[in-house]
Structure 1
Amino acid sequence: MAFSADELRVLRRALAIALNPTTVAETDVRDCLRLAESVDEAIEEAGRLRAFLVTDLARYRAALPGAARGYTELLQDALAAGYDPRPDDLAALRTLRGTPTGDVLLRRCLALADQSLRARIAGRATTPRQRTRLLALPGGRSADRPSGPKRPAPGGKPAPPQPVPKPSEVFPPRRRPVPPPAQRSAVS
């Protein structure tokens, strides 16, 4: 997650407020709450992306061995996003054991599955916890106001809910690069 210069300024002010909670300007409170909403939206988007990757990965896994290249690419993306390999993934990678990518991914997934199992046995959760809402700022949202991203539209009417875009609308399909046309030599 990357912050813009304005968001970093707000974050710096929020940390200063947390260290010295004297009187806080209303604009600072609003900026902090807006930043907290932005972070919440980013976390929700990451969850949607993770769910999309897992669904896409299952679809490619079902199409193996014909979709081996796409499956290994998606599995690498999913592992980079914090995906825990499942027994189905390990079985699929065992069928791809003859390929260099399949061997490397199988070793990596076996190590990750072993770490995950040890963590579960030790009683630690491997999934990230939900972030608590930022409501403890002096002058922040009061308990009687509803929280959440629902804001009335101009004119006092409630804003219609915004549709959630489909992953295919947000993340276009990968295109394979087109090789350059073969250069023909002139025959004299």
Structure 2
Amino acid sequence: MVFSADELRVLRRALATALNPAPLQDEDVRDCLRLAESVDEAVREADRLRAFLLADLARYRDALPGSLAGYLELLQDALAAGHEPGVDDLAALRALRGTPRAAALLARCQVIAERSVRARLARVSQVGARTAPAPRARLLALPGGRAADPPKPTPSGPKPPPPGERPVPKPSEVFPPRRRPVPPPPPEERAAG
């Protein structure tokens, strides 16, 4: 990005104000806002240019091997604009590595792709380390709760569970036995009764 002489003066004033805060005049504020709009427009234009370049690169890649010279030139331009070569680019360059220019570009792209993958893995591991749950602390019973006065065991009853632990229910408590229906009395007994 290139600034004009006027834009550089505005930028210098803005940086001086940031370092030594002082009230700004209205004209300085308007100049800073215009400069910010110009920078935003330049960024949007760079994004549009990059999208066009990548679309053009894909078209040339699809037309390989007939578009070899144009593809290699566009790929170099895309790399200069910050493009990280993808799987399609690496596969195309591997197919074309018989030419010295494509072989050199393949080596460059492999270095860039490896660096990109390592950076992504480092970011993922940092995010994973920040979001990993902390080891759970063992829960202990606090004095003064229900466990403070445990029930006294009866000689024939079960022992009370240690404080902080729930007793395991017996299967008969969870699934009570079914009661069989009582059959009706025989007809003779009903008539007699």
Q: TM-score range by the shorter chain?
A: 0.5 to 0.7
Deviation at 1:16, TM superposition (A): 1.2
Which residue in 2 is equivalent to 1:182? none
Q: Aligned with 1:123: secondary structure?
A: helix
Distance 2:58 2:65 in 1: 13
Long gaps (5+) in structure 1: 125-188
Q: Aligned with 2:6: secondary structure?
A: helix
Which residue in 2 is equivalent to 1:121? 121
Long gaps (5+) in structure 2: 125-193
Distance 2:24 2:56 in 1: 47
Which residue in 1 is equivalent to 2:3? 3
Cα offsets for 1:76-130 (capped at 9, x unmatched): 0000000000000000001111101110000000000000000000008xxxxxx
Aligned residues: 124
Q: TM-score, normalised by structure 1?
A: 0.65
Cα offsets for 1:2-37 (capped at 9, x unmatched): 111100000000011112222210000000010011
Deviation at 1:58, TM superposition (A): 0.3
Distance 1:23 1:88 in 2: 54
The one-letter code sitting in structure 2 at the alignment partner of 1:68 is L
Which residue in 1 is equivalent to 2:84? 84
Which residue in 1 is equivalent to 2:14? 14
Q: CA RMSD for the aligned pairs? A: 0.9
Distance 1:15 1:44 in 2: 23
Larger relative contact order (C-alpha < 8 A, sep ≥ 6)? 1
Between the aligned residues of both structures, percent identity stands at: 70
What are the residue-to-residue correspondences of 1:19-38 with 2, within 5 Å?
19-38=19-38
Which residue in 1 is equivalent to 2:51? 51
Distance 1:94 1:22 in 2: 59
Cα offsets for 1:154-182 (capped at 9, x unmatched): xxxxxxxxxxxxxxxxxxxxxxxxxxxxx
Distance 1:14 1:78 in 2: 33
Q: TM-score, normalised by structure 2?
A: 0.63
Higher helix share: 2
Larger CA Rg, structure 1 vs 2: 2
Q: Aligned with 1:122: secondary structure?
A: helix
Which residue in 1 is equivalent to 2:68? 68
